[in-house]
Structure 1
Amino acid sequence: MRNLLIAGAVAVAGAAGYMLIQPQSQDGAGVSPLAYVPADTVFYSGQLEPFPLKDYLRATTFASPQMSQDLLEEFDDQSSAQHRFLGSLVKAYFIAAESEERFQQTFALPDQVKGLSYAVGLMPVIRYQVTDEAAFWALFNQAEQESGFQHRAGTAGEQAYRAYRFSDEKSGRSIELILAYADGWATWTLNSALNEPADLEVALLQSAPADSLESAGVLAGIAKQHGFQSQALSYLDHRQIVTGLTSTDGNRLAKMLSRAQDQNNAGRGLEQLRTPECQSEFGAMAANWPRTVAGIRNKDDMQITPERSFMRMSMVVESNNKVVMDALTSMQGYIPEYLQKAQLFGIGLGIDMNNFSPALGAIWNDMLEPAYQCQPLRQMQTAVRQSNPAALAMFTGMAQGLKGIGLGVQDFTLDMSGPAPVMTALQGVVSVSADNPMVLFNIAQGFVPQLAQLQLPADGSALDLSDMLPLPPELDVQPMLALKGKHLVLYAGEQGEQAANQLATVEPVSNGILNFSVDYKKMLTPLLPVIEMAAEPEVAAELAVLKQLDMQVQVDLGTNPQGIEIRSEANIRPPAQQTAAQ
């Protein structure tokens, strides 16, 4: 059953993963879909401006994913009709994923699609355009026929829907998957004893909430505050989550959780949170960290063609806590420029050690400053007091002046002709940036005996460490050590040397906290033969999919005036033979 649930989650994520946001668009009835989204939804994500789904699928669809034999047997052996129904849908997903045409046909998805997802209390709602009603229902008709699991026909207002009831025999509880079609749009939601018929009517657009996203202007406010393009916005509202947990009727989420507490006597944990003290204190925390928002800042940040899918997005954890944000900004260090260029693999950590201890102390004191009366928060404070950062501050004192550490691998070659693979070529660099890197090198000499007698030239000349470092025979490379301005570098190969030399005149300014990048194709191509040699035949066959994975990913973590920001880029291309066939 565990595998079935995992596969089901994959299917749902794959079907819903294209949903972003554009608030100006309207549906076929001339009314903005945002008029039916409650303003107290805890999350929102949508794409209400046509998204080139067909091109996206062509650029990101690789070799057909293979289901394991165990999973296939689990689908076939299910004695429960509801499990067979879910298994039929999951199998349909894997079969459809063989090609973009079959995927669109199976799920009745148009070439250009709009869609959105949000919540009505505890009820998730997913809405998206489909090609036609018959095509949408065909998938579920087939699953019913294969499983013997039947739906219940129902209506909410004037909207007809199908309800598939899933029950747990042990607890006696049940929940219904609700599916509906209207005006070229499909709607998925869940119906249970925790919501009222009026909530289902809101989810099926038969009743508009008194306060909606459209009337509240939430999306326009996010776009203005963060400089996001309006066609790509999503958010998670921490304040609505806290209201739902700490109040009995402050929003739809709170009301449904209260019903769960009354009906199942399962809300005892909520009793600790639903006190005036917790409501006030958790509310203050949520006001300091109100939302997590995501979007793009330039139209060029999303480029979708059959030959390439490129997305550059930013996610910001909003913060109004000046003490914490000032501390995080002050400890932000230096990420070397070479990590912003194409790397086979790269990682950088930017920490200003001159400010690290004061910043850590400021954050620690901020967590202890309020005299919390709410029991869970008091317990949290007790745990924080027991982890005094003074010991860590003493350790970091040895690294005073450090600004950041970087590792970049541009290329490598493996020789597979012998009994064991040997790395015969490596292009890469490791850099340590500091106010005075020579001080850090002198400290390192005390811990690495091989470096104790080494005199590092101040003019930037490199020293060959091949005879000094105990490299294993599998690494046939020439490591070079040099001092380049305010950067201590260890490099190998011409590309590594070029990256090292470029640092010679660069000042290690504060520009980030963390950087990570990887080129999957360049990294996996030389490694897969090694992995396949040691893998089981079934695993080796599945690894064939990775050979076609032409994807580059880069992630940056830092701060901005609005909060903590994570910037990510993904560049995906289809396999060469697939592009030629198109």
Structure 2
Amino acid sequence: MKKILIVTAIAAAGAAAYFANQQLQTSPQAYNVLDYVPADTPLLSAQLKPFPLKDYLNSSPQLNTAKDQETLQNIAVEGDPQSKFFLSIAKSYQTSLPDTEMFLNTFGLADNIRAYFYMLGALPVLKIEVENTQAIWDLLDKAEQESGYSHRTGKRQETEYRAYRLNDSSEAQTTDLIISQNNGLLTITLNSSLNKETLLSSALGLLKAENPITESGILEEIASKYNFTDQNIAFINHQEIIKGLTSVNANQLARHLSLLFAQQDQENPLSAFRTAECQAELTTVANNWPRTVFGYTDLSVTGTQSTMDLSTVIESKNQTILTALQSLRGYIPQYTQNIKDNAFALGFGVDINQLSSATASILTDLKTPNYQCAPLQEIQDTLQQQGQNYSMMLGMAGGMANGLKGFSVAVLDYSISKQEGTPSLESLDALLSYSADNPLALFNSLKMFSPDLQRLQPPADGSAVDLSEFIPKGLNISPKMAIKGQNLVIYNGEKSEQQADLMSSEALTKNGLFTFSFDLTRMFDPIITATELSGESMPSEAMFLQNYNMRIKFDIDINQQGIVFNSHVSNEVKK
């Protein structure tokens, strides 16, 4: 039974991660699969409009190497028939992915497809719209022939399915991987001998949910609350997960876990959570942090370009912790936001003067009330032991960097050339800055940590100080330091000097916690140049990156709704 648990967890996590990455969609309008999804599902990822898969694949770089194929082949040779079966499918995926038409034909997919992933209690269900159903059977037949792993055939109503046994024949309970096609949809799920007969029928889309998510208003509420587009809605329901862990039959997940662990020879690992105290206290925690929600805020895909903006929100109703986290927000300068103008940018916004008090508020909230639930008691004991140390350390940090509001760095551009027979830095356009209530006073306090800084004194009028004497010989840079508004800036290059000047007029507002971005082309091209100048050659599997402009940006912030993670990915085929 241990293997059943492992296989179930891997299947659920793998399917969710894969299809979140590939950005797939929901099923045809004529057959509303959401009618078969219960409102108490712990997890759902559903895109509500056809996704242009062909255009997305054509416009996105596909990292697929010969070493990957070799590794798969070696694993398949050493593995048992079951592993060889799955590795055969993985090899077909890797072989076909670089050729979009081959990939679509291999897996029977249309140019625009829909699919989604959800849970029936502990049972993962994945559905994908297919255009050529025979392609799926051919793919599975090929994998069976190459591995010696076989299936048995089953039938529910008029729907046939293949069942692949996942656990050892010596185990009393069985778990099968179920693959079926019906209503133009490929269904991949699991079936255990512990399941009720009706559960497989539900997974195959033959029995509608008694309380379907289509009648709950959950998806509409999420889309409206977070301004997500109507392309995709996804969530993890923390409240339903806590019900499953702390109760015997409060939801479908709880009933499945109860059945599963009842078959174990050892003590039920959930017994510590299934007490009256844990049920009440963990439910309160879940109510304060009810869900993690996901959705697109922008999606644009053509055959040569794709742009995706995805927002993730960890919802919170704990105003004490939210207020404390919001007080930590600092200032991130505008130059870190110019994703098209930077090769790389990194920014931390933090109000250092709030660090100690915010941490104290959070620790106090986490230590109140005195929990009776054993797992929560252990966490509180750890916080009690370490909390005072954390407060002292953060207090010292706040004292040394009084008034600090943020720290940022960006590389706008750089190039490499051959100098005296060696690849060397030819040019660098970059800047580094920190923002503070009084940046000059903060700089003067930092001087005590470096004797070399004692003779530096940037003028308060914004004029620059040359830092060339601090740069090792051989580096072709002449950085300067200046006070620009409420920022101390070190910069090198014309573009960075322009950005530094603009900072003089920027208001020191609380606008974020963290940002990170990079332009793959701007970062990658000079590395190719340096490699070629040194007489070496770049690995062939990495050279495909020359064909794409790829930009990625990731932000973390806090608002009244919770902890927010925003990501931006744009790909464009070079002309």
TM-score w.r.t. the length of structure 2 is 0.92
> Where do 1:521-532 residues align within 5 Å?
521-528=521-528, 530=530
* Cα deviation code 1:494-531 (max 9, x no counterpart): 11111111000111100000000011111122124556
Give 1:21 deviation, angstroms.
Answer: 6.1
> Where do 1:277-426 residues align within 5 Å?
277-297=277-297, 301-342=298-339, 343-387=342-386, 388=388, 389-391=390-392, 392-418=394-420, 420-426=422-428
- Alignment partner of 1:445 out of 439, 447, 471: 447
Q: Residue in 1 aligned with 2:3?
A: none
Q: Residue in 2 aligned with 1:463?
A: 465
Cα RMSD, aligned residues only: 2.6
- When the two structures are aligned, how many residues end up with a matched partner? 562
- Give the whole-Å Cα distance in 1 for the aligned partners of 2:473 and 2:10: 42
Give 1:117 deviation, angstroms.
Answer: 0.8
**In 2 relative to 1, CA 164–455 (structure 1 residues): closer, same or farther, beyond 3 Å?**
same
**In 2 relative to 1, CA 137–505 (structure 1 residues): closer, same or farther, beyond 3 Å?**
same
**In 2 relative to 1, CA 259–531 (structure 1 residues): closer, same or farther, beyond 3 Å?**
farther
Range 167-176 or range 279-288, more displaced: 167-176
* Cα deviation code 1:57-91 (max 9, x no counterpart): 11014475334465244245246221221121111
SS in 2 for 1:383: helix
Q: Residue in 2 aligned with 1:487?
A: 487
Q: Residue in 2 aligned with 1:520?
A: 520
Range 547-556 or range 308-317, more displaced: 547-556
**In 2 relative to 1, CA 172–529 (structure 1 residues): closer, same or farther, beyond 3 Å?**
farther
* Cα deviation code 1:380-435 (max 9, x no counterpart): 00101111232122222221211111111101112245465322211011111111
**In 2 relative to 1, CA 247–531 (structure 1 residues): closer, same or farther, beyond 3 Å?**
farther
SS in 2 for 1:264: coil
SS in 2 for 1:333: coil
Give 1:354 deviation, angstroms.
Answer: 2.4
Q: Residue in 1 aligned with 2:502?
A: 502
- Give the whole-Å Cα distance in 2 for the aligned partners of 1:8 and 1:416: 51
SS in 1 for 2:272: helix
Give 1:176 deviation, angstroms.
Answer: 1.4
**In 2 relative to 1, CA 21–104 (structure 1 residues): closer, same or farther, beyond 3 Å?**
closer
- Give the whole-Å Cα distance in 2 for the aligned partners of 1:69 and 1:312: 32
* Cα deviation code 1:197-238 (max 9, x no counterpart): 221111111111211111111101111222222322111111
Give 1:126 deviation, angstroms.
Answer: 0.9
One-letter amino acid of the structure 2 residue matched with residue 427 of structure 1: D
Q: Residue in 1 aligned with 2:42?
A: 42
- Give the whole-Å Cα distance in 2 for the aligned partners of 1:536 and 1:193: 58
Query: Does structure 2 retain, via aligned residues, the 8 Å contact 1:62–1:549?
Result: no
Q: Residue in 1 aligned with 2:114?
A: 114
Query: Does structure 1 retain, via aligned residues, the 8 Å contact 2:12–2:124?
Result: no
**In 2 relative to 1, CA 264–536 (structure 1 residues): closer, same or farther, beyond 3 Å?**
farther
2:224 matches 1:224: yes
One-letter amino acid of the structure 2 residue matched with residue 118 of structure 1: Y
Query: Does structure 2 retain, via aligned residues, the 8 Å contact 1:20–1:234?
Result: no
Give 1:277 deviation, angstroms.
Answer: 0.6
Identity over aligned pairs, percent = 38
Query: Does structure 2 retain, via aligned residues, the 8 Å contact 1:19–1:45?
Result: no
Q: Residue in 1 aligned with 2:432?
A: 430
One-letter amino acid of the structure 1 residue matched with residue 429 of structure 2: Q
Query: Does structure 2 retain, via aligned residues, the 8 Å contact 1:414–1:422?
Result: yes
Query: Does structure 2 retain, via aligned residues, the 8 Å contact 1:151–1:164?
Result: yes
4+ aligned runs moved over 6 Å, structure 1: 5-12, 169-173, 531-537
Give 1:476 deviation, angstroms.
Answer: 2.3
Give 1:303 deviation, angstroms.
Answer: 0.6
SS in 1 for 2:497: helix
- Give the whole-Å Cα distance in 2 for the aligned partners of 1:292 and 1:175: 30
- Give the whole-Å Cα distance in 2 for the aligned partners of 1:531 and 1:175: 52
Range 206-215 or range 173-182, more displaced: 173-182
Q: Residue in 1 aligned with 2:235?
A: 235
* Cα deviation code 1:213-271 (max 9, x no counterpart): 11111101111222222322111111111111111111111111112211123563211
Give 1:6 deviation, angstroms.
Answer: 11
- Give the whole-Å Cα distance in 1 for the aligned partners of 2:519 and 2:572: 12
Q: Residue in 2 aligned with 1:580?
A: none
Query: Does structure 2 retain, via aligned residues, the 8 Å contact 1:8–1:86?
Result: no
Query: Does structure 2 retain, via aligned residues, the 8 Å contact 1:245–1:273?
Result: yes
Q: Residue in 1 aligned with 2:6?
A: none
Q: Residue in 1 aligned with 2:4?
A: none
- Give the whole-Å Cα distance in 2 for the aligned partners of 1:363 and 1:484: 35
Query: Does structure 2 retain, via aligned residues, the 8 Å contact 1:334–1:403?
Result: yes
2:81 matches 1:77: no
2:15 matches 1:18: no
2:184 matches 1:184: yes
TM-score w.r.t. the length of structure 1 is 0.91
- Give the whole-Å Cα distance in 2 for the aligned partners of 1:100 and 1:528: 27
2:100 matches 1:100: yes
Query: Does structure 2 retain, via aligned residues, the 8 Å contact 1:318–1:562?
Result: yes
**In 2 relative to 1, CA 561–161 (structure 1 residues): closer, same or farther, beyond 3 Å?**
same
SS in 1 for 2:140: helix
2:478 matches 1:478: yes
Q: Which runs of 5+ in 1 are unaligned?
A: 577-582
SS in 1 for 2:50: strand
SS in 2 for 1:428: strand
Query: Does structure 2 retain, via aligned residues, the 8 Å contact 1:16–1:126?
Result: no
**In 2 relative to 1, CA 549–246 (structure 1 residues): closer, same or farther, beyond 3 Å?**
farther
Q: Residue in 2 aligned with 1:541?
A: 540
Range 428-437 or range 254-263, more displaced: 254-263
Query: Does structure 1 retain, via aligned residues, the 8 Å contact 2:69–2:91?
Result: no
**In 2 relative to 1, CA 374–344 (structure 1 residues): closer, same or farther, beyond 3 Å?**
same
Q: Which runs of 5+ in 2 are unaligned?
A: 1-8
SS in 2 for 1:359: helix
Query: Does structure 1 retain, via aligned residues, the 8 Å contact 2:24–2:113?
Result: no
- Give the whole-Å Cα distance in 2 for the aligned partners of 1:264 and 1:88: 33
Give 1:472 deviation, angstroms.
Answer: 3.7
**In 2 relative to 1, CA 248–170 (structure 1 residues): closer, same or farther, beyond 3 Å?**
same
* Cα deviation code 1:431-457 (max 9, x no counterpart): 111111011110121112111022211
- Give the whole-Å Cα distance in 2 for the aligned partners of 1:412 and 1:563: 38
**In 2 relative to 1, CA 61–421 (structure 1 residues): closer, same or farther, beyond 3 Å?**
closer
SS in 2 for 1:503: helix
- Give the whole-Å Cα distance in 1 for the aligned partners of 2:15 and 2:375: 37
